[in-house]
Amino acid sequence: MSSYSSTNLRVQILRDERSRTRTNSIDPAEAEKEEPIDPLTAACRARYARFEKAIAAIFPSRRPCCATDLTVHELLGIEEPNDDDLDVLLPNGVSKDGEKATPIIRARRAEEDDDYDMDEEEDEAPPPPVQKPRSPIPPTIQISSPDRTKSPSGKDSATVTREKLEADKKAAEDAAKLSFSTMFYTLESDRDAMLEQQKLDESDRQVNAEANAQGAPGKLSNANLGASSLTLKHLIARIDAKRERVAVSDMELRNLMSEVKKNRSKWASEDKVGQEELYEAAEKVVLELRAQTEHSTAFLNRVNKREAPDYFNIIKQPMDLGTVMKKLKQLAYKSKKEFIDDVNLIWQNCLQYNADPKHYLRKHAIAMQKMTQNLIPLIPDITIRDRAEVEAEEAGAHDQDADAESDDEPIMSSRMNRKAPGTSKAKKGGAKPARTESTPEAKPPILNIQGVPDIKARDSPVPGHILAETSGLGSQNGFGSPALAHTPSNGHISTLDLDPTIEKYEVDDDLDPEYKIWKTMTKKARARAASERHKLFRGTKINLDEPALIRTRVGMGRYIRSELAHGDKDAAAKDIKAPLAVAVEEHAEEEDNLLPNYYKILDGVPELPYNLQWLGDDEDEIDRYNDNLRLAPKGIFTQPPTGLARNMDSNMKIMQDTRKICHKIGVIKQMQVQTQVYNNQFAKYDPAEFVEREPEDFLVSDDGPIYSEDINRTAFQRSIGKIFYHAGFEDFQPTAFDLVTDIATSFFKKIGQTVMLYSETVLPTGRFAPDEILLHTLAENGLEIDTLESYIRDDVERLGGKLVQLNERMRAHLADLLRPALQDVENPEAAEEDMSHFVNGDFTDDIGDDYYGFKDLGLEREFGMSISSGLMRVLQTRINSNYQAQSAINPAVPHTEYKAPPPFEPLSLDILKDQIGLVHNFFLAKLHANGDEPLIEDEDLPIKQRAPKPRLPPTGKITTPRKRPVSGQGGNSKKKKRPNPPPPVATKPPPAGSTAIIAPTATPPLSEENNGTVPKFEEKDMDNTPGMMSPESIMAV
Amino acid sequence: MANDRFKYKLEIQQMMFVSGETGEPSPETTGIIEDIVRGQVIEMLIQATAQAARRGSRSISTDDLIFLIRHDKAKVSRLRTYLSWKEVRKTAKDQDRDVDTADLVEDSAAGDALKMRQKRAKISLPWEVASYFSEQPPEGDDEDDEEEAEANVATLARLKSADERTKSMTKDEYVHFSECRQASFTFRKSKRFREWAGFGLVTDAKPNDDIVDILGFLTFEIVQVLTEEALRIKDAEDKLQTSNKENDKKRKRDRFLFDGPGEGRTPVEPRHIEEAFRRLQRPRAKSKAMRNFEGGGVMKTRVGLM
């Protein structure tokens, strides 16, 4: 955008204002002619010039070429601006009626030295409207040969007209292009342009669809492909054979064919003479008319009855541009007149229907009418005739032009015919007498040069003259407004009342002519740009499905060129970039650059600096050895192994160690309690050491902090988890974890904010010192140095000490528990006594295995125990502890004092006979259930299989037995330690009155028996099974 | 009327005396202190009950109460000592009964040993290190000496100041002082205390003995803290007043031989207590920290526990 330097940035409004002043005050054409300038105009111009300069001074450009020599102060000093350097850009060729304005805007070199690349074009195509009227053009142009090659002497008048129009157009384009650099057009009219263009396309499609619907895909050879189809007949025949496989419509095919045949258009026909020329021109006219979207929108399609119910009452013969196009495609026109009549009919209809002179459509209709008048001369005055007829004529006139023509070949002749439009009547110009109409192909018609647009009509004949002429020549002359004059059917409007209307509306149209030109010239391009822009959005959001905007080589080249052209040309040529610009040059040709650069923003986007580019190789791998992208250094997300973290880590290590010991103790205790131990009963407990993991490798491009919310949060959570563990939590719920993380995050955010606040605060004495900032921040957030210090001291360091202490004690405890096994057996007899139990008892045959998982526990390594000995010793330990417990509980009763009674014989089928008959059935059933094996006493069963003992409540009523909750191990061990345990009042409040029952009554017989059989186990069971603990249960049994 | 409402006038006076207030505080002063103490007790009970509910229990335990003041290490430490000694006393009584019946003389050594063991029965709190682990090793011998010593610094300082005060006392005064030291809201008037603190309303009506004891201990602490703070305020006020007076009337400065006795020490007045309470209730920065940058400067807060 930098090329639009200060002087170029003119807001449209300014322009409008100026131009309005100008157009209103004085007719520009007159202004040129008449030397004495209206003083008002002069004043306005002077003011304008001042403004221009002021703008340039206010927005100075960095570029030397754009710099003004004027400063603001100078500017203010200017009193009388010089008219000479105004070089006002009046539209030179504005016609009197203001129609088809083709102003040429010259760059104001005085003010802005912008040297645009259009300069050459400007030079070689001088403003035609200025030149043409002045340089006399031969009124008649003789075409010596009917061949397409242009004769040096003159041109086909239609060609001339066309060329002139094209030149006009080109000039207008140039003007528009030039104006890009001097004006900034706002984009607000783009939407209208887009909508109009859409309508146009719509109507195009409609016409096409209708045409296609009519002409069902038929034989191509049937289709009228023009004369030279003979030369291609084999191709055509071939295509016809495979017609169904060609997926194009007839129309398209015809277009294709006409392209193949170089000089033949789709309209070319073998049978019709002159059709090609007429239709080509007519089509061009229709397209041109349609392209005037500003005005043509209303006329594109048929009037809908819904929109205007009474339309068809008033208008008997409706017509519209779409219909005209359709008719063209149907080849419905036989002559220029028919076509022009139809076109004019559209405007006439409109004017007739909308009789109110203020109706807005009238304005459009009139504008279109004028446009039509301008365009009509483009159409050669041809009446299509059948070839046969022409040939017949030819035959008649053969003698006259036999030398000139070789008509043996039909194609050739048809070509000639085409070249020399087969008008039946030669056209007559105003001055030159027409030649005879007998040799249409040989003698080109004499064309009236007055058929140029009305620009010229200004200084040649008056309307009356036109009228006279047209009336004399009939409808078929090349004049601009013959149809208008000759619309007898539509008598409401005459040329006389037409002209004032036109002027009136022209005045109404208060747009700046430059702007208007710009609008018309760039309409299509703008519409395209707008629709592309429109596609990028969906609703008010960006449409994500749209492909990305990509700079094009061409666009960039154009931009560079315009950049180069902006400065000094010679310097630019030496510029390094020049080759690039040149390289791009050839591609740029076909691109229409009607739009100013600010429509193509992408082109101006500069290249990324090399070091910021991500250059990928073939697989789109990013080059990670680039200087700027590198692996993030390690250790960002792990804590340094120093300071507090080290202390915490060591604390956690100790905790883990202690937990392991705890686990061992727990296992051993459990083994002492249980009679049976299962291999998988104790889950292995072997926590891994805490290691902070690094995130996966990732790339960074600078040294700042890493903004990755996920990783940061995870790392933060890890720290929080560490603190949790350090505070004694072995595991925690994720929700709690998240919550704490959130709270901590917000707290740290606040700390950060406070630090920011203090570091940004400026006191009268200066800024806060860093340590002050820190202290203030801590205080604001409820922290004090003391608090932090005491945390470190108490919760980390002292905690470490405590943990070490506890760990030692735990180890000692474990060693105590294992000591009996490590020492020599103290009670050999007891051990021996129980060996039998061990041998015939509960232990299965897999003795050699690591039965208790000692290996897992690490006891073996720790204490040098072998597995087998361990097994034995643990048993002994159990026995030992039982002894101890027993002796602790019943110190007064040595267990050797009485002999245990013999155990009951297990109940078997043999013994059952001796029992009383009442129980026979019961025991039989039991035995049967047991597979006729001897029944085992309840006391001998493993604890788990025992039925809970029935308890008699104090009331003496037997109710359904209910299970007591199994209380924890810890409680038991505590109770064990108490000498003479009192009834556990606090934990299990006994039912009222139970204490009364506790009395030194007789020992329950059952316990007596049990003591006799397996005293140790009984005692132990009594101790440890919770169901038997409470005194009343003992009482009950 | 006022007499009906305030039930602890004497106790509060005694406590204030122990805490350094030499004058005789007015009933208004003790009344306001009593109200404050009561509010604190109720607040503690409410919070402890909520804590217990979180545990899933309907009745509060000593741990719940101690948890409320866990940040005041000195207080916790004193409480633990108090509780452990209470335990010792209780078991010792039991022991005494047993010992009395059995052998009075010979077993003194065994009794000592027993006492020593009893003393070891330490009050363990659920948030201490030992609770990190599933197994509890038997008690070791050398534990927490350091921490205890540190926590006892405040207690020692208090004892020292009391010692200073009592140094110059006569025997009668000292007896009075020691009597006053035994003043308690709860001792031997548990029922009155329960009614006073609204036990049935706030929490279950029949609290553990220990809880009442703890509350008794804490109430004493509250009164002491309040009194000390009020005394500080009053001192500052007196200083200001006397300096003003001196500025006003310079003559008064000179005292003469036959001047009447100087104005006696005035007791603490209700406004001092109110000011002390206000100061003690001032929210700490810690509790405001999370509201930084988020507005809401005015908010409803609970009564702060002293």
What is the SS3 string spanning A578-593?
A: HHHHHHHHHHHCCCCC
What element of type H or E holds A699?
A: strand A699-700
User: Distance (Å, rounded) from C-alpha A522 to C-alpha A540?
Assistant: 26
Domain assignment present for residue B235? The answer is yes
- Round to the nearest angstrom and report the end-to-end CA distance of chain A: 105
User: Distance (Å, rounded) from C-alpha A957 to C-alpha A960?
Assistant: 10
Report pLDDT for A470: 38
> Does the distance separating the beta carbons of A781 and B289 come in below 8 Å?
yes
- Which residues have C-beta within 8 Å of that of residue A581, sequence separation ≥ 6? A557, A560, A561, A564
Of B129, B131, B286, the CB nearest to A782: B286
> Does the distance separating the beta carbons of B285 and A781 come in below 8 Å?
yes
Residue B60 pLDDT grade (very low, low, confident, very high; cuts 50, 70, 90): confident
Report pLDDT for A469: 40
User: Are A196 and A300 a contacting pair, CB within 8 Å?
Assistant: no
- Which residues have C-beta within 8 Å of that of residue A717, sequence separation ≥ 6? A737, A741
DSSP lists the bridge partners of residue A383 as: A335
User: Distance (Å, rounded) from C-alpha B30 to C-alpha B13?
Assistant: 7
φ/ψ bin of B20: left (φ > 0), alpha (ψ from -120 to 50), beta (otherwise): left
Pairing of strands A630-631, A699-700: antiparallel
Q: Which domain holds residue B208?
A: 8-92+167-242+267-274
User: Distance (Å, rounded) from C-alpha A490 to C-alpha A35?
Assistant: 44
Segment 917-976 of chain A within 8 Å of chain B by CB: 970
Of A665, A754, A810, the CB nearest to B292: A754
> Does the distance separating the beta carbons of A746 and B290 come in below 8 Å?
yes
Q: How many domains does chain B have?
A: 1
> Does the distance separating the beta carbons of A780 and B289 come in below 8 Å?
yes
Find the residue in B nearest to A657 (Cα): B133
- Which residues have C-beta within 8 Å of that of residue B71, sequence separation ≥ 6? none
The verdict on B54 touching A (C-beta cutoff 8 Å) is no
Closest CA to A27 of A97, A108, A107: A97
Report pLDDT for B142: 53
Cβ contacts of B137 on chain A, cutoff 8 Å: 806, 809-810, 812-813
Domain assignment present for residue B176? The answer is yes
Pull the structure tokens for residue A757. 């606040």
Question: Which amino acid, one-letter code, is at A602?
Answer: L
Of A782, A805, A970, the CB nearest to B289: A782
User: Distance (Å, rounded) from C-alpha A937 to C-alpha A903?
Assistant: 10
Domain assignment present for residue B230? The answer is yes
User: Distance (Å, rounded) from C-alpha A880 to C-alpha A828?
Assistant: 10
Q: Report residue A63: phi and psi, to 5°.
A: -80, 140
User: Are A651 and A796 a contacting pair, CB within 8 Å?
Assistant: yes
Q: What is the DSSP letter of B20?
A: T
> Does the distance separating the beta carbons of A783 and B138 come in below 8 Å?
no
Question: Which amino acid, one-letter code, is at A201?
Answer: D
**Percentage helix, strand, coil for chain B under 3-state DSSP, each rounded to 5:** 65, 0, 35
Name which of B135, B153, B206, B288 to mutate to probe chain A: the one with the most chain A Cβ atoms within 10 A of its Cβ.
B135
For residue B225, the number of C-alpha atoms closer than 13 Å in the C-beta half-sphere is 18
- Residue B182, min C-alpha distance to chain A (Å): 29
User: Distance (Å, rounded) from C-alpha A562 to C-alpha A172?
Assistant: 20
Closest CA to B288 of B306, B301, B273, B270: B301
ipTM: 0.80
Find the residue in B nearest to A787 (Cα): B286
**Residue B104 confidence (pLDDT) above 60:** no
Closest CA to A591 of A622, A564, A556, A623: A556
User: Distance (Å, rounded) from C-alpha A14 to C-alpha A56?
Assistant: 14
The verdict on A754 touching B (C-beta cutoff 8 Å) is yes
Domain assignment present for residue B119? The answer is no
Annotate A743-801 with DSSP letters as a single string.
HHHHHHHHHHHHHHHHHH-EETTEEPPHHHHHHHHHHHTT--HHHHHHIIIIIIIIHHH
Domain assignment present for residue B13? The answer is yes
A746-762 burial, b at 16+ Cβ within 10 Å, e below that, comes to ebeebbeebbebbeeee
> In Å, how far from its chain's centre is CA A85?
52
User: Are A282 and A383 a contacting pair, CB within 8 Å?
Assistant: no
User: Distance (Å, rounded) from C-alpha A238 to C-alpha A435?
Assistant: 46
User: Are A13 and A512 a contacting pair, CB within 8 Å?
Assistant: no
DSSP lists the bridge partners of residue A907 as: A935
The verdict on A228 touching B (C-beta cutoff 8 Å) is no
Of A663, A802, A813, the CB nearest to B129: A802
Across A877-886, B11-20, B106-115, the highest mean pLDDT is recorded for: B11-20
Of B127, B133, B138, the CB nearest to A662: B133
Segment 723-742 of chain A within 8 Å of chain B by CB: 728
| Residue spans of chain A under pLDDT 70 | 1-37, 60-166, 169, 172-183, 210-233, 243-251, 254-255, 257-273, 387, 390-391, 393-512, 566-595, 597, 610-629, 677, 679-681, 820-898, 939-940, 942-954, 956-1037
User: Distance (Å, rounded) from C-alpha B66 to C-alpha A221?
Assistant: 109
Domain assignment present for residue B279? The answer is no
Report pLDDT for B234: 92
User: Distance (Å, rounded) from C-alpha A1008 to C-alpha A900?
Assistant: 9
User: Distance (Å, rounded) from C-alpha A936 to C-alpha A107?
Assistant: 122
Cβ contacts of B285 on chain A, cutoff 8 Å: 779-783
The CATH number of whichever domain residue B88 belongs to comes to 1.10.20
Domain assignment present for residue B178? The answer is yes
Domain assignment present for residue B109? The answer is no
